[in-house]
């Protein structure tokens, strides 16, 4: 049983602020299991109680998890005075929703949005070693020396070197103009072309897997081995892979399986510590 104050429940299910919830309660607009309740501090069983506001039934889900295919040109913030944010792409308002980690304005790909702070914390914590895999197009080739440098952890100007990371060069033709989809097809044979924005750039496709989420991490790691990132897309985070059916700007709720799998992978890595 999950006991919760009624005013808090209303903020999570009816899109009301705490003070609006109190006003609604005071005016007798809220029923719990058929009875008008006026006291905001009343504790209810959030998973079981039938709560209505003006006769409309509230639907309680503890947390929301959305997979967004972040497009280029929007910032990974909850609000911004000048720029469009990833939350502006979400049709329905969800209280407390935030992006799990940041992708740069010019980066696209998988972005998880949730209001589950504990899961978000674990997915981002370097201590939990959750893999984040990126497809990048670099301005020049990389080989064994760069791979080894990534595997050792790089000095990118922070106090600490990065954790060991994986760099996998892809066959060069995968990053030819107009052919970026070939690189992705190596990651997932079923993945259709998605990186249209890279079509006219020349470069060298790589996969990079890191277990942290430092500011501009991939770009700074590439720079540390003398390369520039021309294009960047996140493909996966832990067990969660970008749904190939989502076009840039589209999103969908995670399935129960995806949520459970993400949570499990976090526990398994935690156990190993
Ligand atoms: N690393 C970067 O440099 N940019 C991103 O958006 C994500 C990881």
Per-residue pLDDT tens over the stretch 210-250: 999 999 999 999 999 999 999 999 999 999 999 999 999 99
For the CA of 210, the closest atom of ligand 1 is: 8
- 149 Cα to the center of ligand 1, angstroms: 18
**3-state SS string over the chain?**
CCEEEHHHHHHHHCCCCHHHHHHHHHCCCEEECCEECCCCCCEEECCCCCEEECCEECCCCCCCEEEEEECCCCECCCCCCCCCEHHHHCCCCCCCCEECCCCCCCCEEEEEEECCHHHHHHHHCHHHCCCEEEEEEECCCCCHHHHHHHHHCCCCCCCCCCCCCEEEECCHHHHCCCCCHHHHHHHCCCCCCCCHHHCCCCCEEEEEEECCCCCCHHHHHHHHCCCCEEEEEEEEECCEECCCCCCCCCEEECCHHHHHHHHHHHHHHHHHC
- 129 Cα to the center of ligand 1, angstroms: 17
Judge contact between 235 and 134, C-beta under 8 A.
Answer: yes
- 174 Cα to the center of ligand 1, angstroms: 21
Ligand 1, atom 7, residue with closest C-alpha:
103
Q: How far is residue 213's CA from residue 121's CA, in Å, rounded to a whole number?
A: 11
Segment 74-90, tens digit of pLDDT: 999 999 999 999 999 99
* Set 104, 131, 139, 243: catalytic member: 104
Ligand 1, atom 4, residue with closest C-alpha:
216
Among 130, 107, 100, 125, which residue's Cα sits nearest to residue 234?
107
| Interior angle at CA 158, CA 73 and CA 105, nearest 5 | 0
Reported confidence tier of residue 254, pLDDT bands at 50, 70, 90: very high
Mean pLDDT (whole number) for 36-62:
93
pLDDT of residue 271: 55
pLDDT of residue 269: 58
If residue 263 lies in a helix (H) or strand (E), which one and from where to where?
Answer: helix 256-272
CB atoms within 10 A of CB 251: 18
Residues with CB under 6 A from ligand 1: 103-104, 107, 216-219, 232
Reported confidence tier of residue 165, pLDDT bands at 50, 70, 90: very high
Reported confidence tier of residue 141, pLDDT bands at 50, 70, 90: very high
pLDDT of residue 115: 93
* Residue from 86, 219, 230 whose mutation best tests the ligand 1 pocket (most atoms within 8 A of CB): 219
Mean pLDDT (whole number) for 173-178:
47
For the CA of 216, the closest atom of ligand 1 is: 3
Ligand 1, atom 2, residue with closest C-alpha:
216
7 is catalytic: no
* Residue from 107, 135, 197, 242 whose mutation best tests the ligand 1 pocket (most atoms within 8 A of CB): 107
For the CA of 101, the closest atom of ligand 1 is: 7
- 109 Cα to the center of ligand 1, angstroms: 11
- 210 Cα to the center of ligand 1, angstroms: 10
**0.85 surpassed by pTM:** no
Reported confidence tier of residue 190, pLDDT bands at 50, 70, 90: very low
Show the tokens assigned to 104.
Answer: 């740069």
Residue 267: is it exposed, middle or buried by C-beta count within 10 angstroms (0-12/13-18/19+)?
exposed
């Amino acid at each position: 049983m999950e006991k919760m104050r009624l005013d808090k429940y209303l903020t999570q299910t009816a899109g009301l602020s705490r003070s609006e919830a109190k006003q609604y309660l005071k005016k007798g607009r809220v029923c719990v299991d058929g009875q008008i309740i006026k006291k905001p501090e009343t504790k209810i069983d959030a998973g079981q109680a039938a709560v209505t506001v003006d006769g409309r039934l509230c639907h309680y889900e503890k947390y929301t998890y959305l997979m967004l295919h972040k497009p280029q040109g929007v910032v990974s913030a909850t609000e911004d005075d000048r720029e469009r944010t990833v939350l502006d792409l979400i049709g329905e308002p969800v209280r407390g929703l935030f992006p799990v980690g940041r992708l740069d304005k010019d980066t696209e790909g998988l972005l998880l949005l949730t209001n589950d702070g504990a899961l978000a914390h674990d997915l981002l914590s370097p201590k939990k070693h959750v893999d984040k895999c990126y497809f990048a197009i670099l301005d020049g080739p990389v080989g064994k020396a760069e791979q080894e440098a990534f595997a050792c952890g790089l000095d990118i100007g922070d106090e600490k070197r990065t954790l060991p990371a994986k760099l996998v060069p892809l066959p060069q033709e995968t990053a030819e103009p107009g052919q970026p989809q070939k690189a992705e097809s190596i990651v997932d044979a079923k993945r259709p072309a998605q990186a249209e924005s890279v079509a006219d750039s020349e470069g060298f496709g790589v996969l990079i897997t890191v277990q942290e989420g430092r500011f501009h991490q991939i770009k700074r790691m590439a720079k540390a081995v003398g390369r520039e990132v021309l294009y960047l897309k996140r493909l996966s985070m832990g067990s969660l892979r970008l749904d190939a059916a989502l076009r840039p700007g589209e999103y969908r709720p995670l399935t129960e399986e995806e949520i459970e799998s993400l949570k499990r992978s976090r526990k398994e890595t935690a156990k190993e510590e």
